[in-house]
Amino acid sequence: MSEETSAHAFEVLAQNPGTDTHGHLRFTGADGEEWLEPFDLPELAANVLRELGHATLMHEDGWLELTESGLHLLPQFIEFQVRDDERIGTATTMQCNHPQLLPQGLFEYQYAIEETFDEAVTSGFRKWARTDLPVLLDAASAEPRSCMTMSMELPAEDGRPARKRRLLFGPVEHFGQPQRDADASADEDTDEEDFCPCCLFTKSIDAFEPLLRSDQFYGLRLFASHDNAGGECQADCRVNGEEWPQGLDALRAYAARWPAATGLEYRKQYVIVQNAPQ
């Protein structure tokens, strides 16, 4: 496909995103000729899962089953856009259910930018599989393998018996470095002294108290950033894929306390709150 043809095709491509899991991308060439190219999100997601060593069974309805854990996954398409540089940005979601642990399900968004549609979708799924999936797998296990854990004892209240809640902390995606003082020793640790995989949550814990005291299963997307150039702090907080505005102020306040960075710094993490296994 020539540059002239592809530019014209991209314009039409962006107006014909297809369906949730399977579909076709519609192209129109410079000469007006149209053609369709199929996409298959379950197949792309299954390829990523198998690449990372997860035994995966694909069902005809598009659901993927991780046979060792019992998790059921459904990748779905949201939208894509073609950038000025003709790279493609995609937005997808991954729905996760478990017959006993998570019958109601939850979901998370994936965003990526690559040269082609399939490459962008695959990139988004791969990042999800490396950061969020390990937490979900540990949540389905009595003995976590990958995540730092924390437990919380709750007394009997409101007619409910005493119980224990378990928190699972996924890997922290960290971008940017704190600025080192010119007089500081090269061996001096200039990052926040007590930062560890639980800090995004524990430094904002008051905002999540209702979730801790509940009996429900929650997947928390936590994001906080600090732009040292303008002093602006941003945050994103989602619970089971839905916006959780109660956490925004607490995450922004936490980011404001970070040591000064050389530019933009952000931290992003997936955390699960659940009842501890009996």
Give the pLDDT confidence of 144-155 residue by residue, as tens digits. 999 999 999 988
Whether the Cβ atoms of residue 147 and residue 166 lie closer than 8 Å to each other = no
Quick one: average pLDDT of 23-37? 72
The residue count for the chain: 278
Identify which has the larger pLDDT, 180 or 173: 173
Phi, psi (rounded to 5 degrees) for 119: -65, -40
38-47 own/partner pairs: CB under 8 Å, 24+ apart: 39/77, 39/117, 39/118, 39/121, 41/75, 41/76, 41/77, 41/92, 41/121, 42/74, 42/75, 44/75, 44/118, 44/121, 44/122, 44/125, 45/73, 45/75, 45/94, 45/125, 47/122
Its pTM stands at: 0.84
Whether residue 222 has pLDDT greater than 50: yes
Quick one: average pLDDT of 69-97? 91
Whether residue 39 has pLDDT greater than 70: yes
- Residue 143 to residues 77, 223, 235, 272, 275: CA-CA distances in angstroms? 33, 27, 31, 14, 13
Whether residue 257 has pLDDT greater than 80: yes
pLDDT of residue 48: 98
Quick one: average pLDDT of 63-81? 93
Quick one: average pLDDT of 91-115? 95
Quick one: average pLDDT of 12-32? 60
pLDDT, the chain, mean: 85
Whether residue 12 has pLDDT greater than 50: no
Percentage of the chain surpassing pLDDT 90?
Answer: 62
Q: How many CB atoms lie within 10 A of CB 231?
A: 9
Identify which has the larger pLDDT, 220 or 12: 220
Identify which has the larger pLDDT, 32 or 151: 151
pLDDT of residue 28: 65
DSSP-H helix ranges across the chain: 3-13, 41-51, 117-131, 133-139, 199-202, 209-212, 248-256
pLDDT of residue 261: 65
Q: What is the maximal distance between C-alpha atoms in the chain?
A: 72
Whether the Cβ atoms of residue 271 and residue 169 lie closer than 8 Å to each other = yes
